[in-house]
Every structure is written in structure tokens, then in C-alpha cells.
A and B are shown apart, each in its own frame.
Chain A
């Protein structure tokens, strides 16, 4: 059983489209995150939810909207996709806000 699973693994789409990435964790963790890894491999946090409450919202364009329907799920919806959104998006979870992180395997987003 995969602890943190995200779908899809690959996402290729045209500029201007709207897309979603889904994430689920079966570890019973309270906190979930979205990270973005750019082409230079730098990882930067985008959002964090603790018990369905948004606790970290970095300087991310409004086109990115996270949604946490319950503690085990954190989805990422992106409107009006741009070329610069191409990256690998990682979902992660942890028991508390400063515990070990468990990462999903990533979603490679390519905007053409």
C-alpha cells in the first residue's frame, strides 16, 4: 500500500487549460503539503493544511487553489495554466507540523 499517493503521475496539457492533481495519504497524518520542484530541482513549499485548515500559503498565484475535503486528501487545482507552471508537483504529509515528511512520487506537469 502506497503511503502517499498522487494522481496523475504525468500531466501534459495546453496553455490556458484548467487541471487538478489529487493526493491521498493513508498514514493517518494531520498535516499535508504541496511542494513544487522546478527545472533546477529546487523544492519550494506552496501550501500546507493541518486538520483541513490552511496554515501555509506561500506567494503562489491565485490560479493555484488547494482543497482539503478531509484529513486524508489534499487536491491542487490550477486554472489558466501557463508555460511557467511546468514542474514536478509533490504532495507530502506528516503527523505534526514538524515531524518527518512522507512524500508522494510526484506529478510531472508539462504545459505546452
Chain B
């Protein structure tokens, strides 16, 4: 049974810092991995999707890496801003049918 763990559970940083969020999964036989952000009272927004054959994806100040063999992914946020404050979730797709298994999330607060 796939289990997804995110560390840390919460993180508070001053504006401008670079930061790393971690995601680990127990079963390395995944199809892809997605990083999402969730704002309070809102739905999730997909940030980056990494296919199992890829090592990383970049979008603006965000960079996600995937090491399938070790069951790990990181989300790197450069030059953090208060607007980055949200809960960040990672999710792995276990098969072609699209079933995602989510981690519990990291609550990020960027202080101005």
C-alpha cells in the first residue's frame, strides 16, 4: 500500500528565503508525481507534474525533482514571497487510471 509522507508539516520563513519541501513515498512504482498548492477554503492548484521518466520540472520560481528509486521528491521555491503562503501537497499516481495518493501537506508561511 502506497504511503506518502511530507516533511516538514509546517514551515515559517522570512520573505526572500529559498526553501525546500520534501515528499517521500514507499512504493517506487509510480506513473507520475504532482505538486499542488491549496489556499484556505479553496481547491487545489496543480503546480508541477513530473512523469516517472523525468528527473525534474521547472515553472518560474518553482523546481520539483524526482528520485523514483529512492522514493523522494523535493519542491524548491526560490526567493519566497508572502503570496507563496499556502499548504503544499504532493501526490503520486500509482497506475494509468489516474488514482492519486496524497501526502498530508506542508503548511508554508512566508513572513513579510
Contact = CB atoms under 8 A, between A and B. Distances in A.
Interface of A: 4, 31, 33, 40-45, 48, 50, 55-56, 58, 90, 92, 94, 96-106
Given A4-B43, A102-B46, A106-B43, A97 B96 contact: yes
A32 to B, nearest CB: 10
9 contacts: A41-B87, A43-B89, A50-B98, A97-B98, A98-B32, A100-B46, A101-B100, A105-B41, A106-B43
B68 to A, nearest CB: 15
Interface residues of B, number: 23
Interface string B32-60: 10101000011111100100000000000
A48 B43 contact: no
Given A90-B43, A90-B44, A101-B44, A44 B96 contact: no
A61 to B, nearest CB: 18
Contacts of B36: 101, 103
A99 B43 contact: no
B102 interface: yes
A45 B46 contact: no
User: What are the nearest 4 A-B pairs in CB distance?
Assistant: A97-B98, A103-B43, A43-B102, A100-B46
A98 B34 CA distance: 10
B51 to A, nearest CB: 8
B46 to A, nearest CB: 4
A95 to B, nearest CB: 11
Given A41-B87, A44-B102, A55 B97 contact: yes
B42 A105 contact: yes
Contacts of B97: 48, 50, 55-56, 97
Interface string B90-105: 0101001111101011
